[in-house]
Structure 1
């Protein structure tokens, strides 16, 4: 037994913090967790889970339209936003309870309040109590960034999108990343008139170029009005109650809702980290080494607050690796390569590995690509196509896989296993296709397009 009150004090009960706390406790550590808001973090409360529920809700509008083409006779359909919110809130409360009970069952002591550091081995919680600890894990995640423009307070962020009392008739989505594109699709699917403003040349920067073009064209065809090279410089409230957005290229747009989906920043304020010598990256994230350790030996950080790869499964892996390394006697480095990712735009994206541009920067490549109307769209009379793309490098190894369309997220999980194992194009070619499916295109592309 050490002379500390706790062996580990975790600040933040999101994906990284809860996993680290549970695993450390299972290894016999005395663990405390402080969380000032709700258990489960961004993913459960204000991110992945409620967002996916909203994606499902918005997708039914298209399914109802297509049902007639498949022989269904349906009456007039309408969407009940308050009813959906109640169901969503019930599910989130259930998941939050699970997260809290996981900590309690593991034997961790839970403090439902804010915590900060007094010194490298002492934590103070909001009620004034202080506790000594052998190690500290900072797992406070991130928060939406709001641009500093006049009237910015009239806009909302992704946090507030899950609590809107009413659906707007019109909405402006500011941003071109995956959060902006996902919410643009959600609102559009729920019948909102959506204008998406992005200051750069094409949405979804960082994704494969074919994916970016394909999704942008599909979003436009579905009714999202995407303005490229446009940004908001000011917001004001008009006499009629609507919001007026002033654009940098001149002109104004009237709307009922402005969503700022302009990136996220690490939650590091007020923790006392800088005063203790913890270093930060240029983007404000906590700088850590390969073991998630900061410049102060007793202080570690995991999850979005480190800015390494801001995804829930990555945060979980980082928390697990930290606990195994420090308390389990098994040094584990969290890896940040070949991370499969699903983006719940409409249409959906699944991607893993290198983009074509990244692969070409490393050497010669072959590109296999197929764009086709999936069977689901034929009877419905929809022209929207799916995209399948394989990036093949030296030794015929598959370096990247990119999918756009229905079920892309589910498909990419399995493709990621093959690519992680070092599958070659010939391994894909030898695999018998599952017919009739969209996924069979992954193993039937025979001729490179570039």
Structure 2
């Protein structure tokens, strides 16, 4: 029987790779994980965590303006220090990075601070030229921001760099129509930047319920965020004064101080050597895997964003857990991708789980849709006209709730409990039979008629 350096060698110490490494080691495997940047991956270092902290910071802009209606004497205008928030956020990232590292150390996982390249079904090469062997290899290297191929694209930044901006831009153009673009549009607008969001198509947030995203567009436009649709990039010119002139299809040129590309993410498989082991990838470079996360090479597995199934941190964690339990824990497990909740931390946030109204009509034919369009109590007293919208989509034949979609304050916190209900197959009658918690926004879920 071949002797290997490790039972498992993991490429990438993000959320998925860390979970797989820790659990596999707890099951008794000899595990090493190679990370070329920092332990924690996209979510912790340059994604969900620092972004959510910026979202919290941005919410204070409206809260401080609203506070006077609740009796607070708040100076007007209030001053905001981008460097203070930026540096505090980075300090928290450092703390979590240390916690992730400590978790791996405590579980006996060897951390190798190096890029690793696959050289065969059971081997990898590190930056120093040394080779390591393992019975199994797990690819968990995540994805990177995609940048449009246009002249001058090097003058733009991505979500990797946005957390380190030296100064807050007075004018920023954000390219993209997905959750990252919309979240940063809200963040920078609340910080006082003039925001233009340019999308190459006519649709924002494809995959979310149409009514919900239309409401976000309406509210964001009323707040002062500008939108350019059908606006593919043609090029960026940088002037001597440092200003950027952005040329867009179907629109006049726009002059801004910063361009942020939020135009999707691509798996980090380029130059990884997977071809040497016969690992099949799709046209975007994502590793093809089966339900057990196994690639076309029996000894190589892959999880997380590098597989481009559902690019969400909790999904990568589930996949890492399932891999380790299946291979090393004698507990065969597969991830159920049905009813995965998702949220956009925009201003206001939106969230959903299950089938959208359009998806339900196509899949089920006969459906019933219940909704509540209301002005949250806090907005009423603050004199804010923004309205929340909750939707419940039901199978007309069985009364089963197949989707819940919402926009309004705190809906990401509410949707988690909704996801349990949808996953459990509860009916509209089950919601109706539940007593409302008053006064709350969530009570609208059990009062829809």
TM-score range, shorter chain: over 0.9
Separation of aligned partners in 2, 1:177 and 1:118? 36
Q: Which stretch of structure 1 is more off in the superposition, 429-438 or 125-134?
A: 125-134
Separation of aligned partners in 2, 1:54 and 1:24? 34
Match of 2:75 in 1: 75
Residues 178-221 of structure 1: CA deviation (Å, up to 9, x unaligned): 11000000000100000111121121111111111011111111
Q: Give yes or no for the alignment of 1:172 onto 2:173.
A: yes
Residues 233-265 of structure 1: CA deviation (Å, up to 9, x unaligned): 100112322100111114211100011111000
Contact 1:202 1:212 in 2 (8 A): no
Number of equivalenced pairs: 446
- Secondary structure of the residue that 1:107 maps to in structure 2? coil
Match of 1:200 in 2: 201
Match of 1:225 in 2: 226
Q: Give yes or no for the alignment of 1:326 onto 2:298.
A: no
Deviation at 1:151, TM superposition (A): 0.3
Separation of aligned partners in 2, 1:325 and 1:318? 10
Deviation at 1:294, TM superposition (A): 0.1
Length-normalised TM-score, structure 1: 0.98
- Secondary structure of the residue that 1:162 maps to in structure 2? helix
Match of 2:260 in 1: 259
1:426 equivalent among 417, 426, 429:
429
The 5 A counterparts of 1:67-146 are: 67-76=67-76, 77-146=78-147
Q: Give yes or no for the alignment of 1:19 onto 2:22.
A: no
Residues 80-126 of structure 1: CA deviation (Å, up to 9, x unaligned): 11111111111000000011111111101110010011110111111
Deviation at 1:24, TM superposition (A): 0.2
Separation of aligned partners in 2, 1:358 and 1:275? 41
The 5 A counterparts of 1:274-423 are: 274-363=275-364, 364-393=366-395, 394-423=397-426
Separation of aligned partners in 2, 1:98 and 1:348? 29
Separation of aligned partners in 2, 1:413 and 1:146? 32
Match of 2:32 in 1: 32
- Secondary structure of the residue that 1:361 maps to in structure 2? helix
Match of 1:443 in 2: 446
Deviation at 1:418, TM superposition (A): 1.1
Separation of aligned partners in 1, 2:57 and 2:132? 45
Separation of aligned partners in 2, 1:283 and 1:395? 40
Deviation at 1:309, TM superposition (A): 0.4
Deviation at 1:170, TM superposition (A): 0.4
Separation of aligned partners in 2, 1:140 and 1:334? 19
Q: Which stretch of structure 1 is more off in the superposition, 74-83 or 181-190?
A: 74-83
Structure 1 gap ranges (5+): none
The 5 A counterparts of 1:142-153 are: 142-153=143-154
Contact 1:9 1:135 in 2 (8 A): yes
Task: Indicate the RMSD between aligned Cα atoms, in angstroms.
Answer: 1.0
Match of 1:181 in 2: 182
Q: Which stretch of structure 1 is more off in the superposition, 394-403 or 277-286?
A: 277-286
Length-normalised TM-score, structure 2: 0.98
Residues 107-151 of structure 1: CA deviation (Å, up to 9, x unaligned): 011100100111101111111111110000000000000001000
Contact 1:157 1:260 in 2 (8 A): yes
Deviation at 1:2, TM superposition (A): 6.6
Separation of aligned partners in 2, 1:185 and 1:240? 27
Contact 2:371 2:392 in 1 (8 A): yes
